[in-house]
């Protein structure tokens, strides 16, 4: 298992995130170097889901969504990721499918992710985006309202919780 090598690469990636605000070009160059190392590691350890997942994530961070897909798919298919990485892989791949125009795949995968992680509202929000792209505007707004009501600590949102739940189910009605 390439854990030592992988951890060294991930440490570099974490270090690059701290410079993103001040030096975008250095950030990109450092991520690109990490991407090359992860591609090499993924070819050396094709049965390592963690390596595939991290490789996908770095591709995504660089805006290389299409290239990220096979790594995400492999990471999920190997079925050995820990709980948090598997959640991240569902979110990453679901979002990536949406970004590259594979909206139905996005909806299917994010729905499966929500079944596995029902309390994860980030999966629900990304599903709402995919539903919007599929022109399911009502389903999209409903998901967003549900997440807003469940996660908001705003006293004003909570004050109108009952009304928002009602309107959630009657979006096209006027009164």
Residue listed under structure tokens 């990536």: 96
Task: Let me know how many helices (H) and strands (E) the chain has, helices first.
Answer: 10, 0
C-alpha dihedral sign at 56, 59, 63, 66: negative
Fold exhibited by the domain 3-135: 1.25.40
Taking 90 as the threshold, does the pLDDT of residue 11 lie above it? no
Q: Which two tokens stand for residue 30?
A: 């450092």
- Give the pLDDT score at 22: 64
Taking 90 as the threshold, does the pLDDT of residue 151 lie above it? yes
Where in the chain are the domains? 3-135
DSSP state of 78: T
- Give the pLDDT score at 20: 62
Nearest in space to 50 (alpha carbons), one of 78, 14, 77, 81 = 81
């Amino acid at each position: 298992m390439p854990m030592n090598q992988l951890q060294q690469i991930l440490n570099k990636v974490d270090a690059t995130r701290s410079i993103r605000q001040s030096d975008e070009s250095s950030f990109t160059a450092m991520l690109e170097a990490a991407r090359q190392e992860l591609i090499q590691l993924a070819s050396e350890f094709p049965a390592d889901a963690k390596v595939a997942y991290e490789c996908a994530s770095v591709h995504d961070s660089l805006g290389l969504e299409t290239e990220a897909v096979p790594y995400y798919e492999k990471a999920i298919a190997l079925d050995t990721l820990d709980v948090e990485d598997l959640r991240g892989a569902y979110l990453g791949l679901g979002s990536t499918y949406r970004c590259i125009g594979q909206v139905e795949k996005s909806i299917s995968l994010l729905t499966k992710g929500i079944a596995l992680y029902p309390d994860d509202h980030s999966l629900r929000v990304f599903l709402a985006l995919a539903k919007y792209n599929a022109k399911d505007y009502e389903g999209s707004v409903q998901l967003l309202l549900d997440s807003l009501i469940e996660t908001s600590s705003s006293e004003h949102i909570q004050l109108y919780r009952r009304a928002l739940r009602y309107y959630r189910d009657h979006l096209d009605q006027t009164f």
